[in-house]
A and B are shown apart, each in its own frame.
Chain A
Amino acid sequence: EVEVLESGGGWVQPGGSLRLSCVSSGFTFSFFAMTWVRQAPGKGLEWVSGISGVGDTTDYADSVKGRFTISRDNSKNTLYLQMNSLGVEDTAVYYCAKVRAMDFDYWGQGTLVTVSS
């Protein structure tokens, strides 16, 4: 059974940093791209970042480019999102999802990031 579990969310002041983790099981992690998607309170889904299976290709939404870094450790079946220079607009539930081919077939339950003074 495929499982995806995020962690690392919490409260942080504006300008601060946070690192999210996502541990996966039930599939060969290195074979699949992974992605982060976020959802601000009461708002829709926003794609944040994606990474290839071997980790050599990454991309970001314009809203986070230069501030967020996606990475993965295939030996630990873990995906990361390093978030720097956080602003109140980054407050959201952050979901980790497995990329099936060009879509997202398994999602975690999300981890809440709150940026507030």
Chain B
Amino acid sequence: QSALTQPRSVSGSPGQSVTISCTGTSSDVDNSNYDSWYQQHPGKAPKLMIYDVNKRPSGVPDRFSGSKSGNTASLTISGLQAEDEADYYCCSYAGSYTWVFGGGTKLTVL
């Protein structure tokens, strides 16, 4: 149950695009089509942003998109806005009611 690997921080200016990567192993990300991404503002509960690799829940702006290649899932945020500044976590379903999170990435909007 090793954590998925994410960059500790990324940054971008308003209007730019940023991509956050999430690298796993053959026991999680590589074999799972159930990668999800969560946004967490300070002091708040996490919020589901992407599920099943690239699907958005109702209400999540289409500026947020997900993709996957091999054992690396990615979250791209285009047209950065100030309110996007937050921590982002990837998560992969590892089977039998077991999940693993990434270490988290702090997004700074310059």
- Nearest CB in chain B to that of A65: its residue: B1
Q: Does A57 contact B (CB under 8 A)?
A: yes
**How far is A107 from B39 in the complex, measured between Cα atoms in Å?**
12
Do A47 and B101 form a contact, CB below 8 Å, given A57-B96, A101-B51? yes
Best-buried of A45, A46, A51, A109 by chain B (most CB within 10 Å): A45
Q: Does B64 contact A (CB under 8 A)?
A: no
Q: Does B100 contact A (CB under 8 A)?
A: yes
Report yes or no: B45 in contact with A102, Cβ–Cβ below 8 A.
no
**How far is A50 from B14 in the complex, measured between Cα atoms in Å?**
38
Task: Please give the number of chain A residues whose Cβ is less than 8 angstroms from any Cβ of chain B in the complex.
Answer: 26
Report yes or no: A44 in contact with B103, Cβ–Cβ below 8 A.
yes
Report yes or no: B89 in contact with A44, Cβ–Cβ below 8 A.
yes
Report yes or no: B34 in contact with A110, Cβ–Cβ below 8 A.
no
**How far is A59 from B36 in the complex, measured between Cα atoms in Å?**
19
Report yes or no: A45 in contact with B51, Cβ–Cβ below 8 A.
no
Report yes or no: A109 in contact with B45, Cβ–Cβ below 8 A.
yes
Q: Does B98 contact A (CB under 8 A)?
A: yes
Q: How far is the CB of B34 from chain A (nearest CB, A)?
A: 4
A57 partner residues in chain B, CB cutoff 8 A:
96-97
Report yes or no: A100 in contact with B47, Cβ–Cβ below 8 A.
no
A-B contact pairs, 6 of them (CB 8 A): A44-B89, A44-B101, A45-B91, A45-B101, A45-B104, A103-B52
On A, residues with C-beta under 8 Å from B are 33, 35, 37, 44-47, 50-52, 57-59, 61-62, 95, 100-105, 107-110
